[in-house]
Amino acid sequence: MNEPLGVTILGSTGSIGVNTLDVLARHPDRFRVVALTANHNSEALLEQCRLYQPQFAVMADPVAAEQLQTRLRAASQPVEVLAGAAGLERVAALPEVRHVMAAIVGAAGLLPTLAAARAGKRVLLANKEALVMAGPLFMAAVREHGAELLPIDSEHNAIFQCLPPGFANAGLEAAGVRRILLTGSGGPFRTTPLEQLAEVTPDQACAHPNWKMGRKISVDSATLMNKGLEIIEAHWLFAAPPEQIEVVVHPQSVIHSMVEYMDGSVLAQLGHPDMRTPIAHALAWPQRLASGATFLDFTQLSKLEFQAPDFGRFPGLQLAFAALETGGTAPAILNAANEIAVQAFLERRVRFTAIPAVVEWALERVAVSVVETLTTILAADAAARMAANEWIATRTPEQ
């Protein structure tokens, strides 16, 4: 009997991390938890350590790491606690780990996810920012070090399932692909009158109609910037030019994405909006295993709707397409400014409608460079954050 495969979860206390642990717990004969990581929620990570008995626990926040270490010792839990970026990168590259779930939200996930790729792991990519910020460098690391890259975003996982085996070596044209269709629900404000968008609250923006997600990604889904980041991610994952990627608004979130072929065929992946499905798929690929997700009852599906996205309502989507066309560090600038803007909105320092304005400001003011090194990317990220904060500092929350 084979030994269970070791798994590190980067961002285990977030939505993706919790769902990953749920799937792993259903298959203890196949997987074992080696390392869990969190940002500053030591209480949640303590409980996860108690339940899943990892060898390592990492807190990005050193103060939280000390608190966790004290609590674990008091509970006689033999878990080695690490702290900071170095700790995250270490557990991403442990020799006893085969799979790394990359689920840290935002730019903070780039370095540990890159460390997993450089260590030749199977990287289960839920952190889209790694590709948005550093697509050329990240994909080069995957190829050079023989890593496996499997997408966890429901849309990209759906596309992966709809593409033929070996497409990565042959290319989309040789595989007969005409276009990739990324679906999105349109979020909670798909039909909200435009004049009301400036008044929406963080709680309203985080109340996604179909998915249960963290607050940052929920706001991104409400602005459709999440879909914009997914366009850039799809470009790198599937070597697809921008003109071959289209967005389709699908309010029911039953079809997670589609691939259209030259012969007129369209392959779609369907399922309930449950992240355990793509997680289980990537963990076991090319096999299948039970995820715990509810099965579709097609007799209960009253309708499936499809609409073109409204760029006037969702200007962030157009900004993302433009950043991808520009290339270089433009996507990193887009992502960094968006992170600052979303956080400011969640803290009620700017209006919901200010988010794309902050991003556009940063894209106009930060010089775009060719992506040559990680230093180049991090410099662009820092400059974009500075520009975004400057915009926010000169406005009142009512502007």
pLDDT digits (tens, 9 = 90+) for 336-393: 999 999 999 999 999 999 999 999 999 999 999 999 899 999 999 999 999 999 999 9
Show the tokens assigned to 236.
Answer: 């790198």
Q: How far is CA 372 from each of CA 83, 136, 186, rounded to the nearest angstrom?
A: 29, 9, 35
Domain 5-151 has CATH 3.40.50.720: yes
Core vs surface per residue 206-231: b (16+ CB within 10 A) or e: bebebbebbbbbbbbbbbbbbbbbbb
pLDDT confidence of residue 211: 65
- Alpha carbons within 13 A on the beta-carbon side of 273: 14
pLDDT confidence of residue 397: 66
Q: How far is CA 341 from each of CA 52, 135, 171, rounded to the nearest angstrom?
A: 36, 23, 36
pLDDT confidence of residue 160: 97
Please state the domain extents for the chain.
5-151, 327-399
pLDDT digits (tens, 9 = 90+) for 89-112: 999 999 999 999 999 988 889 999
pLDDT confidence of residue 208: 72
pLDDT confidence of residue 1: 56
Fold of 327-399: Rna Polymerase Sigma Factor; Chain: A (1.10.1740)
Show the tokens assigned to 129.
Answer: 């920012």
Return d(Cα 185, Cα 170) in angstroms, integer.
Answer: 32
pLDDT confidence of residue 396: 64
Show the tokens assigned to 341.
Answer: 């803007």
Which residues, given as ranges, of the chain have pLDDT below 70? Answer: 1, 210-211, 396-399
pLDDT confidence of residue 399: 58
pLDDT confidence of residue 129: 86
When computed from its CA atoms, the radius of gyration of the chain, rounded to whole angstroms, is 21
